[in-house]
Structure 1
């Protein structure tokens, strides 16, 4: 989906309602802006509560069985930083 918008005098753009609904942005939410090769990528920000909930669910999943902690840390680092 591509939508063209004009930048206002203060450098602001309006994210269309259809886009906000599609990616789950509500008034007051934070977004993350990332510049990649002259492109602007806007993604929903994650609240501290959402981060903690997600982190806890991953930890709970991983610790339901007996594991090797060093191996777990190594796997997490590889996944997060794509070190294959």
Structure 2
């Protein structure tokens, strides 16, 4: 385990997160965290905020739009290079 720190669990089951980790993950008193079991480990995570989630969706949408525009351009370029494509019809001979 890299940079692990040992903590003692209090009588009420409480553990103090190390200051270094609270600062790294921007966790302050009163913030909510998610706690879950992952195999034999206990994982504590800061939940994703609505703003972070919305920003991720905006970035994904922008990426999809850029890809769509690029593929549209490539398709036009291919059509110009190939000319008209024959109209193939299945079963008509």
Distance, in Å, in 1 between the alignment partners of 2:64 and 2:31 is: 30
Instruction: Name the counterpart of 1:24.
Output: 26
Runs of 4+ in 1 over 6 A off after TM superposition: none
**Conserved in 2, the CA contact under 8 Å of 1:34 and 1:41?**
yes
Measure how far apart 1:28 and its partner are: 2.8
Measure how far apart 1:50 and its partner are: 1.2
Instruction: Name the counterpart of 1:71.
Output: none
User: Which structure's CA Rg is the greater one?
Assistant: 2
Structure 2: gaps of 5 or more residues: 72-93
**Conserved in 2, the CA contact under 8 Å of 1:29 and 1:45?**
no
TM-score (norm 1): 0.65
Distance, in Å, in 2 between the alignment partners of 1:29 and 1:58 is: 27
Distance, in Å, in 2 between the alignment partners of 1:17 and 1:55 is: 31
Instruction: Name the counterpart of 1:49.
Output: 51
Q: How many residues align?
A: 68
Per-residue CA distance 1:4-41 (angstroms, 9 max, x = gap): 11111221111011111122222332222221222111
Of 19-28 and 42-51, deviating more is 19-28
Instruction: Name the counterpart of 2:16.
Output: 14
